[in-house]
Structure 1
Amino acid sequence: MLALVMLINRTGAMVLPFLSIYMTQALGFTITEAGVVLACFGLGAVTGSWLGGWLTDRYGNFWVQTLSLLVSVPLFLIIPHFTSVEALAAIIYILSVTTESFRPANSVSVARYAKPENITRAFSLNRMAINLGFSIGPALGGFLASFSYNWIFYGNALGAFIATLTFVAFFRKRKGNIKRHTETTGTPASPTRSPYQDQIFLVFSLLCCIYAICFFQLLSTLPLFYQKGHGLTEGQVGIILGFSGFVVVIFEMLLVHMAERRLSYASSIFWGTALCAVSFALLPIPTGYWILYLSIFLMSISEILAMPFMASVAVKRASKQNQGAYMGLNALAFSAAHVFSPFIGTHVADNYGFNILWWGTAVVLVGISGGLYFVVRKM
């Protein structure tokens, strides 16, 4: 049922993939100004991830998720009224704090309701729902954008509202799995230890953040590249981004099941990160649209092999008493990437061109794949 809530919510998630195009096309922002606003989304995500983890440990995951979904509804509705760089950056920051506080609470829900032996598959199912929604949302968003960009924000508000009703109706009186997750990755933290004092987990989180900075070009500079570098329309951009989510939906559970049986956490994360490097290295090849689909296909496989196992490492490193803090730090690593990814990506693309951005991203990912392999093995 958590997966169904995520599916409904993410089907309405049309704003972020089109936000950079909306700002440059409808509002006339420069690429750099669009990057600043997207960086404010990242700052809000950092704040929301920390706040969501803190609130979850104190008040429970149910109330954090409910309020996050509910408060986001009016915020989406008023965004079209903010048209200056400063005003849009402010409202996007507030929206991001609200929506991203949902993530650590939702991760704790997955850990609480899943059986211990199914943790990674539970995260994969939840992510599969996210990506099924993401495959529908951008395609629908591209269609709505052809009429008016405002309809993207209204669609996102509707998705959040329906997700709120569904979540409250099903989980209001439901209790989690009381069996403790005894299987661990390395030595679990003590019940009172803060993840911010767990040095090897901090290194792991930093490497995850750098991976995410590279991967999240998917949400900022990649749609601009499709439009400016290949002349794709909003509808075509929505279709290719939707294809990414479709690939994850089709292959995620199968590949995660195979990886669990045949690969260690370290190996799966290594290959996932390495495939992401290959996907970006393909983008400068001047062949045609097929290379865009091959690139995003490999990027989707990268996501399948890397991200569920990164979340599982965080869950198994934590104890029951500090799961919210550990999942908050894990979410924080990815949220911080939302700050740096658009800022770095748009700056490099604007000053040096998209090809330099893609080659540089690929080189960084090669180094990160080795670092993650080493650190996860140590854990």
Structure 2
Amino acid sequence: MFTKTWHLYKDAFSGINKEVWLLALVSLINRSGTMVVPFLTIYLKGKMGFSYLEIGIIMSVFGVGSLIGTYSGGKLTDKIGFYPVLFWSLFLGGLSFILLGFLTSFLAWCISITILGMVGEAFRPAIYTGLASYSEGTYQTRGTSLIRLAVNLGISVGPAIGGFIAYNIGFAGLFWADGLTCIAAAIFMRIFIPYKTNKTSNPVENLPVLGLSAYKDVNFLIFIGFLVFTSLGFMQFFLLIPMYYKEHFMLNESQIGLLLALNGMMIVLFEMPLVHKLENKIPKLLLIALGSGFLGLSFLLLIPGFTGWWVAVISLIILTLGEIFNMPFANSFAMNQASEGRRGQYMALYAMAYSVAHIIAPGLGSFFIENYGYSSLWALNGFLCLGSMVGFYFMQRHPRLKYI
């Protein structure tokens, strides 16, 4: 069994360029410092004393900054190349994380976290445009999964370390640790990855036809709409579920960190082999639909309000399966819709779907929690994800919307 899995991993990684491996390593270093975000709502509630509404506003303006960052990041990536966008996103993002540890007022948090979202999320369209510049065809999906593998390996380590620091030392060190790892990733990139532009041999501005604009591609916009609905549910995992784990299951920060690490570790172990097995056998939209279904089911399991820790574990495992089936194939699907000169635009719009969800989800979630309780929020999330599953399925079945 082990030998078979090892060979599957070996085949899945074969053919990926050295530059993509280095980009993945940058992502690993960067995401290893993902210690603050999973505990941010806990910090804002427990340490800063903000209300659910104030927490919702802070996390929503974080989403506003992310939306601006992904849009401007896509524009800048097409204009100046992915390399400088990646570097400055990492470096300035690191400084922004360090600054958060010194904030005391609600207004300061709103302003600073908006800036953090802007500079931090410019990373997303740039990293995947860089990936597309180094890989083609089938290897794009594998490269996407490699990047996600690195991200999730970092995420599996970061929360566990972050939870340990928060519980045993305090929250102050988290901001420094997150900031310094972002800066370290920028320095590593500058030293080990040679500068490269994402422009083709023929300058993009001289090409007579660049393909359809992402903002006029109706089919792609429908896909993005369903992706937003799925993301509205998925964002609760990062933004509000850690607070739910603490308040409902009575877990401490260290235990929450270990539980969140399970998500990243499962993706590290299973995503790449599954992508390798399924990428050319099943249409991407059907796999994306399956992932949305798993996400919806994971939230529905939380509705009865069981207090046993095993409920949190089972729900997290199902949610992770949804993430494994949904995320890499949705990303690859988006990349395959764009012509070379429009790729940054398409990937920016793809990333903006998550930013829009990031804006809406915290305010919506905090409203439901404060007025109706957690169970009503999990029911809403389940409905959104299962509705998106149906939408993706019919996109594949409908002849005009049938893709890869």
TM-score (norm 1): 0.94
State the alpha-carbon separation in 2 of the partners of residues 31 and 247 from structure 1: 31
Mean CA deviation greater in 52-61 or 241-250: 241-250
Q: Map Cα deviations across residues 10-56 of structure 1 (whole Å, 9 max, x no partner).
A: 01011111110000011001112111100011000100000000000
Give the one of 279, 287, 290 matched to 1:268: 287
Q: Is 1:157 aligned to 2:179, yes or no? A: yes
CA contact (8 A) 1:281 1:358 kept: yes
Q: Map Cα deviations across residues 174-204 of structure 1 (whole Å, 9 max, x no partner).
A: 5779799xxxxxxxxx615321111111111
Partner-residue secondary structure (3-state), 2:76: helix
State the alpha-carbon separation in 1 of the partners of residues 102 and 187 from structure 2: 26
Residue 246 of structure 1 is matched in structure 2 by 265
**What RMSD, in angstroms, separates the aligned Cα atoms of the two structures?**
1.7
Give the one of 121, 127, 131 matched to 1:100: 121
State the alpha-carbon separation in 1 of the partners of residues 334 and 303 from structure 2: 35
Residue 371 of structure 1 is matched in structure 2 by 391
State the alpha-carbon separation in 2 of the partners of residues 349 and 85 from structure 1: 20
Give the one of 350, 357, 374 matched to 2:377: 357
State the alpha-carbon separation in 2 of the partners of residues 77 and 287 from structure 1: 36
Give the one of 303, 326, 336 matched to 1:306: 326
State the alpha-carbon separation in 1 of the partners of residues 104 and 307 from structure 2: 37
Change beyond 3 A, Cα 1:96–1:145: same
Q: Is 1:331 aligned to 2:344, yes or no? A: no
Pairwise CA distance, 1:118:
1.1
CA contact (8 A) 2:74 2:347 kept: yes
Residue 40 of structure 1 is matched in structure 2 by 61
State the alpha-carbon separation in 1 of the partners of residues 313 and 47 from structure 2: 27
Pairwise CA distance, 1:59:
0.1
CA contact (8 A) 1:120 1:309 kept: yes
Q: Map Cα deviations across residues 244-271 of structure 1 (whole Å, 9 max, x no partner).
A: 1111111110111122143111110111
Change beyond 3 A, Cα 1:363–1:171: same
Pairwise CA distance, 1:284:
2.7
CA contact (8 A) 1:15 1:152 kept: yes
Gaps of 5+ in 2: 1-21, 203-208
Q: How many residues align?
A: 370
CA contact (8 A) 1:62 1:172 kept: no
Residue 31 of structure 1 is matched in structure 2 by 52
Residue 172 of structure 1 is matched in structure 2 by 194
State the alpha-carbon separation in 2 of the partners of residues 321 and 94 from structure 1: 28
State the alpha-carbon separation in 1 of the partners of residues 103 and 173 from structure 2: 15
Partner-residue secondary structure (3-state), 2:210: coil
CA contact (8 A) 2:153 2:265 kept: yes
Mean CA deviation greater in 100-109 or 75-84: 75-84
Pairwise CA distance, 1:135:
0.7
Gaps of 5+ in 1: 181-189
Give the one of 74, 80, 99 matched to 1:53: 74
Q: Percent identity?
A: 36
Matches within 5 A, 1:152-231: 152-174=174-196, 191-231=210-250
Q: What amino acid sits opposite 1:218 in the alignment?
A: F
State the alpha-carbon separation in 1 of the partners of residues 278 and 355 from structure 2: 26
Change beyond 3 A, Cα 1:124–1:84: same
